[in-house]
Chains A and B, each alone.
Chain A
Amino acid sequence: MPEFKLPDLGEGITEGEVVEWRVQVGSAVDRDQVLLVIATDKATVEIPSPFQGRVDAILAAEGAVVHVGDPLLRVESGAAGEQPATAVAEAPAAPWAAPVAPRPSGTQSQPSMAAGAVPALPAVRRAARERGVGLESLLGSGPGGRVRMQDLQAAGRRVPLRGAHRVMAQRMAEAHRRVPQVTVVLECDMGPVEALVRSQPADPAGESGYSILGLAALAAVAGLRAEPLLNASFDEGLMELEYHDQIHLGIAVQAGDGLKVATLRDADSLAPGDLQRQLGRLIAAARAGTLGPSELAGSTFTISSAGRLGGLFATPIVNWPNLAVLGLHAIEERPVVRAGQVAVGRVANVSLSFDHRVIDGLTASAFLYQLADRLGHPEGLVR
């Protein structure tokens, strides 16, 4: 039974971390299908399968550090019912090719031929079977109406939501249904924060220093101490506010398998450096899918940071039963006016979406202005 070992990925790389498996025990794999994602010192890369068959065993867990030559998985090749993979027209694109290669309009939607003999490659047939989609129901875009992988992907198929996706769906609907929310937005000068992040000496222990998100979290904690209402929840039935003694920060993380809110517990009792470290650990765990149950629930206030692809502005939705969510949007160079002069500033929009049943606009704005002010003097946050 062929075993797949971590290949020598070149340029002196000797080990890597298993970030994510893309196959499971028992699943069929095609040649060149991505098996797993490995993070090395240099890059995070997808590893395509050299075999075709069925996964018999996975020999390295997500999060494990593996060395070149260590076995990663065992494949039972030529399992019954498997056809040789010949999906050449669907040859896998290089990983960075994913969003590219728009298909010319001319190759699309030719009517498919008579039912009963829908042409499709074996890999497509199997994928259709696995998804419970009948090929007859699809319009093939290939020559002679051949159904291609992309037709299958475009088809209206039904996929049950699981795990983080499911939680996200429920929470978002809940928040939207129950909470009349309002969003206030400010432009915030991020120059000082960026300067602090940049100025940190490299840590000999290899730990990264304060991040922009970490500093924003510290600023939020300071703000919540001053305004406990934003850290409360609201009992609709009893018409009562419930104030929380601790600040549990929910951090929205975009992971491969959906949006997750990782909970940084007792954020108000952590020293700044500890908060930053905890935050880093949580985000890594969220991405690796190794968050424990207590780390996926119980937040009292949420921070959502969309990073560099965050756009000019988005409308974060209050993470019910929290009362407010802080949104950090992309940092851009923009003209700013300082003392009557136009200068180039490093500016980000920051927003606070809040539950208008119990929080008024003034409270929300005050929180946000103070947050922007704290971010303008970040040295005060890390003391």
Chain B
Amino acid sequence: MRADGTGTSPAVPAGAPGGALMGGARTVLGLGREDRREHLRGLPSGLAIRLYSAMTHLRAFDERAVILQRQGVIGTYPTYFGEEAVQAASVLALEDRDWLFPTYRQTAVVTLRDCPSVVPLLLWRGHPGGWHDVMRYRVAPICIPVATNYPHAVGAAWGARLRHEGWVALAYGGDGSTSAGDFHEACNLAAVVQAPVIFLVTNNQWAISTPIVKQTRVPRLAEKAAAYGMPGVRVDSFDVFACYEVIQEAAERARRGGGPTLVEAVGYRLGPHGTADEPSVYRDPRADLLWAPMEPLGRTEAAVVEAGVAAPEQLLELRSRAFQELRDVGDRLGELPLPSVEELADSVHRDTPWPLRPERLYEPSWARLEQTPPWS
């Protein structure tokens, strides 16, 4: 009953950017009304609500982070407004023992593994308290250099396979990241060694101000998988149920020894690149208007209510709780001290080299480097 291969969501006007761009993307929300209800009712008990709840939490985190940035409590912040569906699905479709390798745009996924929200917010405050416990949550530190997290995930997953540990790794990335050498090397190696890894590439059509058409001649990124010898799947990134399904299938395949999968979650960056970005300078505001109805929280809400899986009051309650919780976290955050300069080089080297010793950090860098070290 599913429209994979051809389905586009009815929410996308024909001829609009979404109509063409979402071609071939797996969809649940875009199914006919009856099929959609049947699908949602057939989900394991409580799953729809757990997905919605995770999305709400991610939205509350993101909105609070933007407010805190505007108030000067945290520094520059890459909002993920609109990516709540694919991010929530990515965590819930996996098992807790599976590893996540996030980028700057998935700072909050660790909170879906019960890490307190204050931790990633502290990261954007430049505070050492922002480093979550990597081994406990099985979430790697975020990578800001684009595509560098892919090889990390492949190495980890290959290790898991060699040791028969049974877990899989998932690495996040964007359309822009597929132009980086690291992406190619990671995909190639992953396929060769059949590493249990999922490359979850969110194709939001933009890499800051570079549109996908200036990024690649193969705008359906999933097609790139063929060149590496692995399956490639497209899915509507705004559709939490479709994302869940596709990622779970990829994880099962990887666990069975079937190797890596490239998942292209296709959509549009509904917000700016980050808090210091002004998209109206480089992109057509009409496209924003066309994509706006794809906003995932409202779509999920509508579908869940339509299927009778949850009552509107229950959803409102979940929303209210999430926003209140993040508001409280924000209040506490503003009261925490900023880190001291002495802490800048902590936890970077085992033995902090002489030019980076705390007592020297106040000197200008040229002075630190030009002076003869005491041991020479």
Contacts and interface: CB of A to CB of B under 8 A. Distances in A.
7 contacts: A9-B276, A43-B275, A50-B71, A96-B81, A97-B81, A100-B293, A308-B284
Given A7-B72, A91-B327, A308-B284, A96 B312 contact: no
B295 A100 contact: yes
B79 A94 contact: yes
A71 interface: no
A94 B270 CA distance: 11
B36 to A, nearest CB: 13
A44 B275 CA distance: 10
Interface stretch (A103-111, A239-247, A252-260, A262-270): A103-111
A11 B298 contact: no
A100 B297 CA distance: 10
Contacts of A13: 276
Contact of B70 (A9, A86, A106): A9
Given A89-B316, A101-B298, A106-B312, A32 B67 contact: yes
Given A88-B324, A106-B305, 17 more contacts: A8-B75, A11-B276, A13-B276, A48-B71, A86-B324, A88-B319, A88-B323, A89-B316, A91-B327, A94-B63, A94-B66, A101-B297, A102-B295, A104-B301, A105-B305, A106-B306, A309-B285
Counting contact residues on chain B (CB < 8 A from A), the size range is 35 or more
Contacts of B72: 7-9
Contact of B334 (A48, A50, A89): A50
A76 interface: no
A285 interface: no
Nearest to B11: A102
A196 interface: no
B258 interface: no
B14 interface: no
B286 A309 contact: yes
Interface of A: 7-11, 13, 31-32, 40, 42-48, 50, 86, 88-89, 91-97, 99-107, 142-143, 308-309
Main secondary structure of the interface of A (DSSP, over half): loop
Nearest to A69: B72
B272 A96 contact: yes
Nearest to A51: B71
Contacts of B83: none
A91 B316 contact: no
A25 to B, nearest CB: 21
B59 to A, nearest CB: 9
B301 A88 contact: no
> Which 4 residue pairs are nearest across A and B when measured between Cβ atoms?
A7-B72, A106-B305, A10-B76, A104-B302
B60 interface: yes
A145 to B, nearest CB: 11
Contacts of A105: 302, 305
Contact of A45 (B70, B313, B316, B327): B70
B241 to A, nearest CB: 15
Contacts of B297: 101
A9 B75 CA distance: 7
Contact of B315 (A11, A44, A107): A107
Interface in B291-348: 292-293, 295, 297-298, 301-302, 304-306, 312-313, 315-317, 319-320, 323-324, 327, 334
Given A47-B71, A48-B71, A97-B81, A91 B60 contact: yes
B249 interface: no
Contact of A106 (B76, B79, B302): B302
Contacts of B305: 104-107
Contacts of A44: 278
A10 B276 contact: yes
B292 A100 contact: yes
B215 to A, nearest CB: 20
Contacts of B79: 94
B135 interface: no
A13 B75 CA distance: 11
A97 B295 contact: yes
B271 interface: yes
A88 B59 CA distance: 13
Interface string B72-87: 1101110101000000
Contacts of B1: none
Contacts of A95: 66
A43 B295 contact: no
Contact of B278 (A32, A43, A50, A107): A43
A10 B270 contact: no
Most chain-B Cβ atoms within 10 A of its Cβ — which of A32, A96, A142? Answer: A96
A143 B316 contact: yes
Contacts of A32: 67, 327
A105 B315 CA distance: 13
A144 to B, nearest CB: 8
